[in-house]
Amino acid sequence: MLLVELEPAIDPVINERAILLASRIRERHARGVRDIAPGYSTVGIHYDPLQTDLSALEHAIEHEFARLASLDVIADRAVIEIPVNYGGSYGPDLDAVATFAGCSVDEVIKRHSARIYRVYMLGFVPGFAYMGRVDPSLAAPRHRVPRERVPAGSVGIAGLQTGVYPVESPGGWQLIGHTTTVMFDANRDQPSLLSAGDLVRFVPAGDR
């Protein structure tokens, strides 16, 4: 795998460049390339070394990136709303996050649902979107010992990141709520609800 590294930062503009670079290489330089995945500020290019001229690929990447380097705007995107039931048995860490933030549970819900989050990348399990940035007051760290089973649909916080567990899996994020939205379904035309670059707002279930 070839890793293209932009500036190492969690930044919407740098992330936008990584996403665009990934799609341009996918569209224009597909020979020998098996798969391309953007990260926060990186692009992973999985290529077949026998079908790919690495120096030509590197040259193409530099060429495409030169055209993106001055890009400093982010394309307008519709905001995807995800309804969340905060707290209760599916949000066992809501109280702990409130304690961390030094505010009420209602205030945590208000702060978490007030922001529009950007999907920076997907990974971990199919359809798991790393979103940010969370209000810094809520940025509770991961559990030191991850839970063995986190139910599908759990909404969590890990530092400045937030996300939804698409399938039951182990996980260390602070769980504050639950959504019934299906984040990933391999039988849908677009299996993952979210793609890198998407915008998301969490809506307290009672507010809809």
Partner 1 sequence: MNAGVLHIVRPGLLTTVQDLGRYGHQAAGVPVAGPMDTFSHRIANQLAGNAADAATLEITLIGPELIVEADTTMAIAGGMFEVTCDDRPVGIGVTFAVKSGQRLKFGRIVQGARAYLAVAGGVQTEPMLGSRATHLVSHMGGFKGRALTAGDRIPISHEPRPRPHRKSVGLTLPTNGRALLRVIPGPQADWFQADALRAIASVSFRISPQSNRMGYRLQGPPLVRAREDELISEPLGIGAIQVPAAGEPILLMADRQTAGGYPKIGYVISADLPVAGQLAPGDFIEFHVCSHQEAVAALISRERQLLRYADLKDVS
List of residues contacting partner 1 (CB under 8 A): 1, 3, 5, 8-10, 22, 34-44, 46, 49-50, 54, 121-130, 167, 169, 184, 186, 191-192, 195-196
Please report how close the Cβ of residue 126 comes to partner 1 at its closest, in angstroms: 4
Residues 6+ apart with CB under 8 A from 106: none
Residue 5 token pair: 């590294």
Q: Which is nearer to partner 1, 137 or 195 (CB)?
A: 195
Please report how close the Cβ of residue 207 comes to partner 1 at its closest, in angstroms: 29
Q: Which is nearer to partner 1, 13 or 103 (CB)?
A: 13
Contact 142, 158 (CB under 8 A): yes
Q: Which is nearer to partner 1, 39 or 91 (CB)?
A: 39
User: Rounded to an integer, what distance in angstroms lies between the CA atom of residue 109 and that of residue 118?
Assistant: 18
Please report how close the Cβ of residue 57 comes to partner 1 at its closest, in angstroms: 12
Q: Which of 45, 74, 49, 75 is nearest to 60 (CA)?
A: 45
Please report how close the Cβ of residue 161 comes to partner 1 at its closest, in angstroms: 9
Residue 171: which H helix or E strand, with range?
Answer: strand 169-171
- What is the number of residues in the chain? 208
Q: Which is nearer to partner 1, 166 or 177 (CB)?
A: 166
Please report how close the Cβ of residue 110 comes to partner 1 at its closest, in angstroms: 28
Other beta carbons less than 10 A from residue 148's beta carbon: 8
Q: Which is nearer to partner 1, 113 or 161 (CB)?
A: 161
User: Rounded to an integer, what distance in angstroms lies between the CA atom of residue 156 and that of residue 134?
Assistant: 11
Q: Which is nearer to partner 1, 104 or 188 (CB)?
A: 188
SS3 state of residue 202: strand
Please report how close the Cβ of residue 115 comes to partner 1 at its closest, in angstroms: 20
Cα angle 105, 135, 89 (rounded to 5 degrees) comes to 35
